[in-house]
Each structure stands twice: as C-alpha cells, then as structure tokens.
Structure 1
C-alpha cells in the first residue's frame, strides 16, 4: 500500500503560561500518492509539524497518520525504517566528524560487515559527487555540501519516502540547482516543505498550509498562485503605499 494517509489529524501542544493547548494542525485529511509533493506556507503555519508527523517525530493529538500501511504511532519503528527525514540545518543531524563516518554510521544497522559497509558508503558518496570531500571535517564544507551529505546519509539506507524540511534555505544558487536536479532523479517519493516557489513548481502536487489548516491541495501552479494571493492579502495596505493627503 504505497500511499500516505492523514485521517482527521489534529496536533495540539501545551504551552507554558497558557490555559488552553495551542493547535498546530487542525483536522487534516489527505491521501498522498504522488511522487513529488510540496508543502508551502508562512513560517508558523504548520508545515514542519505536518512533515514531522510522517515519521513519528510528532504524534497526532487526534486522528491517524498511516505510511505505506503502518501507523506512525503504533508501528513507529517500521515507519522510520521507511521514511528518511532531512532537516533544514544539516549540522543538526550530521553527528560524525567526517562525511564518510556519517554515512557509515547510517549503514551500521543494515550492514554488519565493516568492509561491506565501507564499500557501500563509498558508492553513496560517489553517487552524490561527495567522495572527494568524504574525509574532510564537516565544518570545512559549504552549506550546500553539508546539505547534500545529510541527504546522502539518509538515502544510504534506501528509504521508500524522503521528507525534506526546507532543504534549500542555506543554499546558494548553484547548490540549490544541484539539489533540484538530485531530487528530480530520485526513485523515492519525496515530500518537501519549502519557501522556494520555483522548487514547489517542480512538484506533482502542492499543499498550502495556513494557520494549521490545509487551505489548498492540488496542481503546483495553482497552489503557488493561491499562496501568493494569501501573502498579498495578509500584507494589506502598507504605510508607505498610502497616497499623501
């Protein structure tokens, strides 16, 4: 069952100093079967919460999330073996001194033999053009190189679903284009939140999230147009745009 379903999902959290829980997502129902799905919306709209539901980093307060037949609460280990998650800041998930060590670490559970694990890590690094950087400190790499390295480490175990949380935020134009081409060539189903509307236009389906609700679900170009309209409406009339009296 190669689909991802949200059934009446809401997420509420208790915030210090507030009597009532804060609602981050409200009554989301979706069935995601497309290979490329973008999630767009303003900061704080609920995009990252929606993505983190996909591998059990966040649990629904109500409703269910099912990924390829597995419930993200009751079968979280199987879900996480199928869903790779790449965070906005790669330094938050690159834990080893070098890229080679990080990719080998991600392979430790699936490949027990150290020689086989090392050979597989080299294959993965070479696939992403990172082999020449494999033994450099991750702190010597550019933001784009770190992001690709984090992506390589996640894809090394061949998950069925790849979740990317604003992957282009730290990238310059060259590395953004490299990321776009890399994502386009992947076999995995990709769910991506992004502020980069050009990246969103590459997707098969776009979800627009506003104030914890999915307010648009459909074609990429229509979704981007809807989000632009929402942004324009939220700005209203700016002080410097008012005609002088």
Structure 2
C-alpha cells in the first residue's frame, strides 16, 4: 500500500498539487487529466522523483526519496530519457551494479527479465538502433531487473504504433507488481481497478473507470 498524507507540491511559488490524502491498494490504477493538471507531477511523487513541499508519501514503512525508489519503479514517457548505455545488456546491468550485486546474480536477473518480456533477441543490440516499441520494453526491463514492488508509468503508449501499444497493454496486464499508469489513452485504462482524475492540482474524482472516465469526457467537451 502507498499512502499520501496531506501532500502538496509547489514550484517557484506556483501550486502544482494541493492537500492530497489517499491510499492505494488496488493492483491497477490509472491517472487521467488535462495537460498541465498536475497528473505527471503527482505520478513522480510515488517514487521520490518529486518531493512534496508539504505532507508525506509512504510506501508501507518506507518514506523519503531514497527509500521510495527502492520499492517503486518509474517508466518514463520517452524511453530515451531512461536508457543510458549503448548495449541493451549494459543498460540493464547499470542499476544492478550500483547495488553491488555479484556478477552471477546480475546475469541471472537480466536473463529472467529478457525471457519474461520475450526480448532476449535484443540483448546485444545497440539501444539507439531499437524501434520505439523495443525501447519501451527495454526501459521496462531496466525497471524490472531492480525488482520493485510497484511500477509507475507516465504516458507509456504515446510514442507507440497500434501493434506496439497492444503488446505493451498485454505486458502490463501480466505484470506481478501493482501498477499506476498516467495516460490520455482512455482505452488503456478502461478495465483498470481504479481511476483518479486530476484537475488544477486536485483529485476531483476517484473510483471505478466507467463513471470517472465518463465524467472526465463530459468535462472535456467544449
């Protein structure tokens, strides 16, 4: 469970989010809202990329940026912002080496994740030569090798064509970890367990996908 207790976020005197109080225990949670609503900033609070100006974010007994990052993985909208090394396996090993794991454990984790995502054929590929869909899966693999207990995705389908979008949707459905997904793609979120609608820094609706998404669509009409 992750809990937000009276969480607010301000930047340069501008209020981004205000007074968020909620707990998340569901396996698949979506976050929707217009551009500039604060939804991406909200997502980045989950694993400490953003730090609250006030209040506390707690994952079970963990709090603070360093502790949150050990438990909550984050997949960026653009995988180029996440992939660092030129060879796929080098990139996947990067975070594991920082954990001071033995080489045998590093190789074992990489092999497991490549098999799990069915991308073993990419292990020795140059990352800059990968397609958008392949990069998104490698970015996800880089999170999974760290064995997080929750994963947050920021607009994961934005850069994908239809085939890669369907592949990613299937992958998300099969993940063991609870996921939180920020997305404008309402189809992607239609069968999730819970949807949070963020507007002007507040969570204005929270519940089952059907009514929350319908309310969002109604508010978006000109």
Pick the aligned partner of 1:51 from 24, 43, 50: 43
Structure 1 ranges of 4+ moved more than 4 A:
none
Q: Which residue of 2 aligns with 1:8?
A: 6
| TM-score of the pair, normalised by structure 1 | 0.87
| Residue in structure 1 matched with residue 23 of structure 2 by the alignment | 31
Residue in 1 that maps onto 2:187: 198
Q: Tell me the secondary structure at the aligned position of residue 84 of structure 2.
A: coil
Matched pairs, number: 222
| Residue 124 of structure 1: how far off its partner (Å) | 1.2
The aligned residue for residue 214 of structure 1 is: 203
Displacement of 1:110 = 4.2
In the alignment, the residues of structure 1 paired with residue 137 and residue 192 of structure 2 have an alpha-carbon distance, to the nearest angstrom, of: 20
Gaps of 5+ in 2: none
Q: Which has the higher contact order (CA 8 A, sep 6+)?
A: 2
> Structure 2 length normalisation: TM-score?
0.96
| Residue 83 of structure 2 is aligned to residue 94 of structure 1 | yes
Which stretches in structure 1 are left out of the alignment for 5+ residues?
15-20, 236-245
Counterparts of residues 64-79 of structure 1 (less than 5 Å): 64-72=56-64, 76-79=65-68
Indicate whether 1:134 and 2:132 are aligned. Answer: no
Task: Report the secondary structure of 1:177's partner residue.
Answer: helix
What's the CA shift string for 1:39-90, capped at 9, x where partnerless?
A: 0011110011111111111111122111122223xxx322111010110000
Partners in 2 of 1:69 and 1:113 — Cα distance?
A: 27
Partners in 1 of 2:88 and 2:101 — Cα distance?
19
| Higher alpha-carbon Rg | 1
SS of alignment partner, residue 203 of structure 1: coil
